[in-house]
Chain A
Amino acid sequence: MDKAQLLLSLAVAMFAIGMVGVIIRRNVLVMLMCMELMLNGVNLSLVTFAHQSGTTVGAVLVFLIFVVATAEIAIAIPIVLMLVKRKQTLDPAAYTDLKG
């Protein structure tokens, strides 16, 4: 198994762990962290493919994604904080007020 295969397996594993985490965990913060894990799994695969093809475009794109992800988290965390302030819990099942 060469280096690229190893890295891609790692990327797939990170994505899968993140996805399972989002689906099964009942803590909003953990879910956010798992989402980051998924994102970084994708990033890793992007960098790997870029390295393999010998271009720098993929690496540059990853930096752009980092910036966007940071901004996204900067909004997501305050929203979570506000929600927690209201209901004193991190369980997303508590926020089903609009359910018919």
Chain B
Amino acid sequence: MQALTLIVILPLVGFLINGLAGNKLGQKAVAVIGCGLPILSFAITVSMFMLLMQTGEARIETVYTWATVGETSFEIALYFDRLSAVMTLIVTGIGSLIHIYSIGYMKEDASFARFFAYLNLFLFFMLLLVLGRSLLVMFVGWEGVGLASYLLIGFWFEDPVNAKAGKKAFITNRVGDAGFLIGMFLLYNALGTLDLDRINSAFLAGPVAVSASLVGVFLFIGATGKSAQIPLHVWLPDAMAGPTPVSALIHAATMVTAGVYMIARLNGLYLHAPEASTLVAWVGAATAFFAATVAIVQTDIKKVLAYSTVSQLGFMFVALGVGAYGVAVFHLLTHAFFKACLFLGAGSVIHALSGEQDIRKMGGLAKRIPVTFWTFAIATGAIAGLPPLSGFFSKDEILWFALASERGGSVALMAVMAVTALMTAFYMFRLLWLTFMGASRMDHEVEHHVHESPFSMTGVLMVLAALAAVGGFIPIPHFLEPIAPLPKTLESMQAYHVPLIGLAIALGVAGLVAAAFVYRGDLALPKRLRESFSGLHALLSGKYFIDELYENLIQRPLHWISEKVFLNFGDRRLFDGTLNGMARLANASGGVLARVQTGSLHLYILLVMIGSFLALVWSWAHG
């Protein structure tokens, strides 16, 4: 079997074994299979990556011809170039680490095997998504990760809240998928192919029969669903109902970046779609800004991280929008490192506190769980953009291209992003302070049980923290230059390049200092602030009431129409009415005809006799 196929298939094998026979295998075997196969995938990916570096040629493997329609055929083909190599490394690498972490985290869970089966299923679809050569294969992966995400958000489905969150994620994504599909139809109609490399070269070669911006906007609608951008961002914070490793793997490091990957993949198309790119940039900026403001007031440790993920994805879309595709993937990589570390750290904290997620009931954990604290602190520094940690490099590049790119960079865009970066640093250090610093606010019972997590968890945290620390030195934008060249920068802005680095550092430090100042001591200051800005606080902690808006705008009218029009009129009156009417008609005519059948033998005989007599008379008369 070919190598790329093997990378994709191995997790599927794990899913089948653990999914079908997991309960009989015992925890140890499940863990070995569930983690071993992704690690094997990762190893093959590394060797393929080495090969790619030597030959420098993209590798294409055709697995199966799906359908042949006239001249064109739809193939399941895998495509391995620099961009998909980076993505595959992230997916299998971080994926394997999180699998290992899950052994410790899910140890007590009764559905241990089911969890690993789902995680492997997710990896399979995610690899199909990033390795697929055509949009069609990508779409299969795209839907598949949605399914895996749904299954894992609702993993503890006994609680209806979790099941509801899973449904919300799935349905919200369907809205985006409609856009994705329309984009695909337009592309196929104009080009006759859905292969990503052919689409890019077709757009780069010259005029195409379809407006690139139109296609770009539709595909971006798909991306807003999967990557939780305004207006379809509402599902991601609720998705935190799933187990924490799931939040780390699916809802931070990999799946939610699928939209970013898709747009970076189709950079040839988006280069010719300036209007769509502007939309991407500004939607990204708006999302980054609003999500950051909401994150400042959240009190659930995972919700803070969820909004931070939405915000960071906004950063990536800004980079995509100004044409710096390599930078977006760079931030995707560093974000995968530090956000996975943060989520898994949060999982470790939750584990230590026997399930407590409210940061108002934490505090003072730094000395009690030191490994978690230090790894969490490094990742926080990375996301806040403190040099030389990884987030600093990628975020600084985004700020620079938001300011100076010839493809839509502007001072306004940069200013929004700079303010967001400041808020990012502030809410992350607020989280760090409330969780680990100051005096303990834990319940006595919980405090008694605080314990550091097992090595399978802390070891993974240390690896991720190390990656979050040094990941910024991987020159991704340069590495991707052959596929996605960086945009030219404006001459007039060159002078600001170095000061901008100073600004980025200043923002990170300012966030740190502000958070440390506000949340020091007995937390009297944040309480005063909350009281003096109570209106703003209510707006933010209500998440701008977007869920309520959607409920009143979409859910209620839909419910009303379903109930009144479809159920009461359509189903009950029209369909049931027609059928019941026909049944009543048959019944009534039967009643009339049944009178003939009296059941009286004597009457029958009399009638037979009369009939015979009449027949005789008739035959005599006509004889």
- List the B side residues contacting A93 at CB < 8 Å: 599-601
Q: Which of B597, B605, B609 is in CB contact (< 8 Å) with A99?
A: B597
What residues of chain B have their CB less than 8 Å away from a CB belonging to chain A?
Answer: 590-591, 594, 597-602, 605-606, 609
- List the A side residues contacting B591 at CB < 8 Å: 100
What residues of chain A have their CB less than 8 Å away from a CB belonging to chain B?
Answer: 19, 22-24, 26, 31, 92-93, 96, 98-100
User: Given A19-B609, A23-B609 in contact, is the A99-B602 Cβ separation under 8 Å?
Assistant: no
Q: Which of A22, A26, A96, A98 is in CB contact (< 8 Å) with B605?
A: A22
- List the B side residues contacting A24 at CB < 8 Å: 602
- List the B side residues contacting A23 at CB < 8 Å: 602, 605-606, 609
Q: Which of A92, A98, A100 is in CB contact (< 8 Å) with B590?
A: A100
Among residues of A, the one whose C-beta sits closest to the C-beta of B591 is A100
Among residues of B, the one whose C-beta sits closest to the C-beta of A96 is B599
A72 to chain B, nearest CB (A): 16
User: Given A19-B609, A23-B606, A23-B609 in contact, is the A92-B597 Cβ separation under 8 Å?
Assistant: no
CA distance A22 to B602 in the complex (A): 7
CA distance A31 to B600 in the complex (A): 13
Judging by beta carbons under 8 Å apart, are B606 and A99 in contact? no
CA distance A83 to B533 in the complex (A): 94
Q: What 4 pairs between A and B have smallest CB-CB spacing? A: A96-B599, A100-B594, A99-B599, A92-B601
A90 to chain B, nearest CB (A): 12
Tell me the interface secondary structure of chain A in the complex: helix
11 further contact pairs, Cβ within 8 A, besides A93-B600, A99-B594? A23-B602, A23-B605, A24-B602, A26-B602, A31-B601, A92-B601, A92-B602, A93-B601, A99-B597, A99-B598, A100-B590
- List the B side residues contacting A98 at CB < 8 Å: 599
Among residues of B, the one whose C-beta sits closest to the C-beta of A93 is B600
CA distance A92 to B603 in the complex (A): 12
- List the B side residues contacting A100 at CB < 8 Å: 590-591, 594, 597
B319 to chain A, nearest CB (A): 79
CA distance A100 to B598 in the complex (A): 9
B38 to chain A, nearest CB (A): 69
- List the A side residues contacting B599 at CB < 8 Å: 93, 96, 98-99
Among residues of A, the one whose C-beta sits closest to the C-beta of B606 is A23
Can you spell out 9 A-B residue pairs with CB atoms less than 8 angstroms apart? A19-B605, A22-B602, A23-B605, A23-B606, A92-B601, A93-B600, A98-B599, A99-B599, A100-B591
- List the A side residues contacting B600 at CB < 8 Å: 93, 96
- List the A side residues contacting B602 at CB < 8 Å: 22-24, 26, 92
A98 to chain B, nearest CB (A): 8
CA distance A96 to B597 in the complex (A): 10
A64 to chain B, nearest CB (A): 22
- Which of B590, B591, B606 counts the most A-chain CB atoms under 10 A from its CB? B606
Among residues of A, the one whose C-beta sits closest to the C-beta of B593 is A100
Among residues of B, the one whose C-beta sits closest to the C-beta of A94 is B599
A48 to chain B, nearest CB (A): 19
Among residues of A, the one whose C-beta sits closest to the C-beta of B598 is A99
B602 to chain A, nearest CB (A): 5
A56 to chain B, nearest CB (A): 28
- Which of A23, A31, A92, A93 counts the most B-chain CB atoms under 10 A from its CB? A23
- List the B side residues contacting A96 at CB < 8 Å: 599-600
CA distance A93 to B590 in the complex (A): 22
Among residues of A, the one whose C-beta sits closest to the C-beta of B601 is A92
- List the B side residues contacting A22 at CB < 8 Å: 602, 605
- List the A side residues contacting B598 at CB < 8 Å: 99
- List the A side residues contacting B601 at CB < 8 Å: 31, 92-93
- List the A side residues contacting B597 at CB < 8 Å: 99-100
CA distance A100 to B599 in the complex (A): 9
B615 to chain A, nearest CB (A): 15
- List the A side residues contacting B590 at CB < 8 Å: 100
CA distance A92 to B599 in the complex (A): 9
A45 to chain B, nearest CB (A): 14
